[in-house]
Structure 1
Amino acid sequence: MENKKRSYELKTVQVIGLGFLILIFIGSILLSLPIASADGSWTPYIDALFTATSSSCVTGLVTVVTAHHWSFFGQLVILIMIQMGGLGVVSFTTLLLIIAGKRIKMKERILIQEAYGYDTLTGLVRMVKKMIKGSLIVEGIGALLYTIVYIPRYGFLKGIWVSVFTSVSAFCNAGMDLIGADSMMGYVDHPLMNLVTMGLIIVGGLGFIVWWDIIAMFRRVHKEKMSLRMSWRRMTLHSKLVITVTSTLIVVGAVLFFALEHNNPLTMGNLSLGGKIWASIFQSVTLRTAGFASIDQSELTSASVLLGCVYMFIGGSPGGTAGGVKTTTIALLAYAVLAIISGKDDVELGRRRIRISNVMKGLCVVLLQVAFLMVSTFLMCVFEPGLTITEIIYETFSALGTVGLSMGITEGLSLAGKLVIIGSMYFGRLGPITVAMIMNVSGKNRKIRRRMPDGKILV
């Protein structure tokens, strides 16, 4: 029974990986067609493949300007890939089966369970329905708010289209837009654009499990007249950790970016105090896998670049649309370090003992992500000798973290450089453990029941 379970687990991650490959391949073919380009010409396949990968993996790095190069058909293809990539091919496959009136069998339920890391098979189909419905509602609200700005600028029909595209892209943490090469720089101090965009990014990056917990918390406050503090205590440990770490990262990042860039005339030095505050908060939010830019990334100070790489490495939270090693992974390893320093035998978090298997998995995620970063950075240094190491590191961190921010080098990459970034975006979207399990094609992952003699290694 154990072998069968392990075998199916391997097949599950392979199905997920293959699903993204199929989505990328179909998208690249469609984007290479003349109907997909604004001038009616064939798009070089490498650029079509790059855009399809960036869209499906909700990254946002582009070799051609989305607003100018693609026709409405091309932009529609990109939007569909962003939506499917953000919510996951498993969710969309389930949705199509539901629409077709097909019964969701046990095989599909197990696939959903493995894809989202749930411990139970109960209510999975209902969960997928709620997830898709909730996503569409949030994206709809975002699009409606965007129309306040975009309809006066672009007219009624195009304004609606740009609003829908931007809302879906922000919620799915894709970072692609139809504004132009300057992204959100023209709205750096615009309150509505900042609030709506950051709100969509944060909500999409929290994870769907946290959504339901937050809703349940406010329901208890409203219906059961429970205090907010007591209702907070009844939330799951996962949700409390995600909310706490996310809030801390946003605040700390905003303060640090303000301190590092407020006097830099090439980024936010010439803005008003209010503009600097908006730009600092936006930079802190967008770096964690969103990819929209309200200031010029190529002119950041070295300290800001390093801080940005750290944020891109961390990313969003599990079960959401963001990438990175996840907020919970970093928090878990931080508590493990504190446990060792304080001499504790167990990792304790929120008055709970964390299983050592969870800590080992988190460590595995971080180490594999570091390994992927080292390989991709090395290859980029080999294939792109004309670029600085700072530009290359920022690009590879952005690709593997599915962020989409760039120092302006993406369009000028060589064929080999583009292929490295394509691979990085794909690996980043799947996650390091998923990629490692896919590569374990032999399936030799049986649990070893015997215990070896103790060994000692100096650390």
Structure 2
Amino acid sequence: MMRFRQRLAKPFKRVPYGRVIPLSPPQVILLGFIALIILGTLLLSSSAVTGMPMSWHEALFTATSAVTVTGLTVVDTAQMSALGQIVVLGLIQVGGLGFMTFAALMMALLGMRLPLQQQNMVRETLHNTSYSGVMRLVRLVILFTLTAELAGALLLALTWVPEFGWAQGLWVSAFHAVSAFNNAGFSILPQGLVPWVADPLVNGVMSLLFVIGGLGFIVIAELVEWRRQRRLSLHARIVLHATLWLSLSAMLLLLLLEWNNPYTLGGLESIFARLQAAWFQAVTPRSAGFSTVNMDLLTAPATLLIMLLMFIGAGSGSTASGIKVSTFVVVLLVARSFLRGSTQPAIFRRAIPEETVFKAIAVSLAGMLLVFASLFMLTLTETGKTFIDLAFEAVSAFGTVGLSRGITEALSVPGQLTLCVTMLLGRVGPISLGYFITTRQAPGIRYAEGHVHIG
């Protein structure tokens, strides 16, 4: 702790290549997110920016939710002024891509050499394992992100420009395209996407944007270069297969659970509309936060299913959070290997390294403990609310999803602060934990083994 304070007191040190930051990547990422949250809080606290009065804790909650690309809100973003919505959108964009990505890009544009320490920070932000391709990957991330958001905005404009007019329609389309790709879940429409539950264009474009944004930039880079290399890494294959099967399985289960619910799928007239709604609700818990039906009207089994999907999240190095889909697959493989009596989990004819197994178990356990701690605090501060609503809120904050059963605005100040901490740790925590696991040093002493009874 003392060493960390000394580094904060002297955040830069000189090396032959210039000044570098002597903090570890997780520390810099955490401090960067905190700095963005403070900046966003100061901006949103001004009624001249938002066009509406906001207390300090409402501004803090909104800024934290935007920077961590969560989407939980205690004030209606649709009621903000255009400037306030621009500030929220800027926080979403910077928080989604990672501030180190932008920093690295600016250094490259200025012709500056990226020091090894800063390359390490960008590598951790994007979950890249190679130093040589960091800057190339950063350029690809920026270009692909802007292209996807622009294409999404133009397609959404086909629906919203005729309805809202050119100026408002284009702004609504651009805002939702950026929010969807970054898996943020913020909307500037008074009723969100509920009125467009049966619109195939809105459902298709929005779900495609946040599914692509949730794959992870490493997977996207491999897909872009697939025509040249004609092969995918084990990580990319796991993420793509797991994403497909999780989405289809969740869609099928939601159809079975909600088909006769008159308040959700059962209230839709056509079968095609029910299929669209089931698909959208199946993929939005990846961390997107949008919904075309009211979450508080889902049945209890469907609510638990959504909570599981939110806890799992999407791909590593993506705009989404959660324990990550690859972590979930590795944990399943470990369980399958144990049940089969195998000594090492494997998939696609490739063995999973022991280090990866430890990391997956540690991240999963840390995620469960964070959700438990958050839920425990909420049960203390929000005594008048139902347990399932509070549990849903805690899991949504950890996975930076943004889905809610309608209680976010009614939370007390301690409850809002609890979710702020949960959102921040849910966004930064897996990166930090993964870094400390992968950079651990071999112990100098090896102890004799002892037996512990399990189960």
Structure 2: distance between partners of 1:113 and 1:37: 35
Contact 1:364 1:433 (C-alpha < 8 Å) held by counterparts: no
Structure 1: distance between partners of 2:402 and 2:254: 19
Q: What secondary structure sits across from 2:351 in the alignment?
A: strand
Contact 2:127 2:218 (C-alpha < 8 Å) held by counterparts: no
Offset at residue 429 of structure 1 (A): 0.8
Structure 2: distance between partners of 1:165 and 1:99: 26
Q: Which amino acid aligns with 1:247?
A: L
Match of 1:225 in 2: none
Match of 1:454 in 2: 449
Match for 1:187 among 180, 196, 217?
A: 196
User: In the alignment, does 2:430 pair up with 1:419?
Assistant: no
Match for 1:239 among 233, 236, 240?
A: 236
Match of 2:38 in 1: 25
User: In the alignment, does 2:158 pair up with 1:148?
Assistant: yes
TM-score, normalised to structure 2's length? 0.92
Contact 1:19 1:89 (C-alpha < 8 Å) held by counterparts: yes
Q: What secondary structure sits across from 1:269 in the alignment?
A: helix
Contact 1:10 1:437 (C-alpha < 8 Å) held by counterparts: no
Match of 1:83 in 2: 93
Structure 1: distance between partners of 2:441 and 2:452: 26
Q: Which amino acid aligns with 1:154?
A: F
Per-residue deviation, residues 199-236 of structure 1 (Å, max 9, x unmatched): 0011000011111222233456xxxxxxxxxx4xx211
Match of 2:352 in 1: 354
Q: RMSD across aligned C-alpha pairs, in angstroms?
A: 1.9
Structure 1: distance between partners of 2:90 and 2:347: 40
The aligned length equals 433
1:40-189 to structure 2, matched below 5 A, reads: 42-68=53-79, 70-180=80-190, 182-189=191-198
Match of 1:263 in 2: 260
Contact 2:72 2:397 (C-alpha < 8 Å) held by counterparts: yes
1:207-356 to structure 2, matched below 5 A, reads: 207-219=216-228, 231=230, 234-271=231-268, 272-356=270-354
Contact 1:314 1:330 (C-alpha < 8 Å) held by counterparts: yes
Larger deviation: 385-394 or 332-341? Answer: 332-341
Q: CA separation of 1:219/1:192 partners in 2, compared to 1, >3 Å: closer, same or farther?
A: farther
TM-score, normalised to structure 1's length? 0.91
Contact 2:153 2:170 (C-alpha < 8 Å) held by counterparts: yes
Offset at residue 237 of structure 1 (A): 0.8
Unaligned runs of 5+ in 1: 1-6, 221-230
Offset at residue 433 of structure 1 (A): 5.8
Query: Percent identity among equivalent residues?
Result: 36
Q: Which amino acid aligns with 1:263?
A: N
Unaligned runs of 5+ in 2: 1-6, 8-20
Structure 1: distance between partners of 2:287 and 2:419: 15
Q: CA separation of 1:423/1:437 partners in 2, compared to 1, >3 Å: closer, same or farther?
A: farther
Structure 2: distance between partners of 1:189 and 1:310: 25
Match of 2:388 in 1: 390
Match of 1:227 in 2: none
Contact 2:126 2:318 (C-alpha < 8 Å) held by counterparts: no
Structure 1: distance between partners of 2:149 and 2:235: 25
Per-residue deviation, residues 67-98 of structure 1 (Å, max 9, x unmatched): 11x11111111111100111111101112323
Q: Which amino acid aligns with 1:402?
A: T
Per-residue deviation, residues 250-278 of structure 1 (Å, max 9, x unmatched): 10000000110111111121212111111
User: In the alignment, does 2:222 pair up with 1:205?
Assistant: no
Match of 1:228 in 2: none
